[in-house]
Amino acid sequence: MMNRVLLDLGFIQIYWYSLLIFIALLIGGTLAINEARRYRISEDKMINMFFFLIPIALIGARLYYVLFNWSYYRANIASIFAIWEGGLAIHGGMLAGLIFIIIYCLKYDISIARMTDILVVSLIIGQAIGRWGNFFNSEAYGSATTLEFLQKIIPFKFIIEGMHIGGVYYHPTFLYESLWCLIGFIILLVARRWKYIKVGQITGIYFIWYGIGRFFIESLRLDSLMIGNFKMAQIISIIMVLVGILIVFIKRKDFQLENQYN
């Protein structure tokens, strides 16, 4: 089991989870600003957007998680604000963030589809990095497995040791999702430089890629947010895949030289 504290200064503790979220936001934000410049979306507009988007997405991610775990948090109100302990649901952050992005783009007359195309590339690399925060918090792991299985698929001993929790070895679902998102990041980088990619299709590809991966990875997890007997993340994943396919095919019908991303 890993130590969630990176640095203990006595008067303050710096957590791995917080550091990794910061790194994810820094890298994702930088990538988005650089890409936006190519389409004459000013750096000021991007920075102004991030100033509101980041806290709104974090609040959405936290509220989503808290609502699904309200039986615990209603008796521990102070814990609601302890996000460094973990407990951010990506789907809640995505929903809150998307609502804000739509409002912001409408206000400043920016293409919503182009903005989401820019941001999903940053989002998926941020997810790849942020999942390591779950590792250091010893959370978001999967069902029990064996040491022999982990040794076959993982070359790094510290990851295997981190998955040894309470005397039991567990599937490192954080690692599965991190690698899936990293591959998705590369796919999106390649896709957005393809000559005939249409505005909106990159967002569609993200929905499909992440939705498929999360659906199967979620089947292994033990801490899923539930709605009845169903895992909420799997329901949303199915919706994401269907919406993604719809976006890709609708945009494909555009004339070949119309509404191109590049």
59-101: per-residue pLDDT in tens?
Answer: 999 999 999 989 889 888 888 888 777 788 999 999 999 999 9
**Which two tokens mark 184?**
């998705």
Please check the confidence at residue 24 and state whether its pLDDT lies above 80. yes
How many CB atoms sit inside 10 A of residue 93's CB?
A: 23
Q: What is the mean pLDDT of residues 240-259?
A: 84
**Whether residue 57 has pLDDT greater than 90:** yes
Output the six-digit token pair for 185.
């990041």
Entry field: residues in the chain: 262
What confidence score (pLDDT) does residue 159 get?
Answer: 96
| Band of pLDDT at residue 258, cut at 50, 70 and 90 | low
Q: How confident is the model at residue 210 (pLDDT cuts 50, 70, 90)?
A: very high
pTM of the model: 0.92
Exposed/middle/buried for 224, CB within 10 Å: 0-12, 13-18, 19+?
A: middle
Q: From 162, 66, 55, select the one nearest 100 (Cα to Cα).
A: 55
Alpha-carbon distances, residue 83 vs 79, 134, 144, 169 (angstroms): 8, 12, 26, 26
Please answer whether residues 97 and 122 qualify as being in contact, where contact means their C-beta atoms are separated by less than 8 angstroms: no
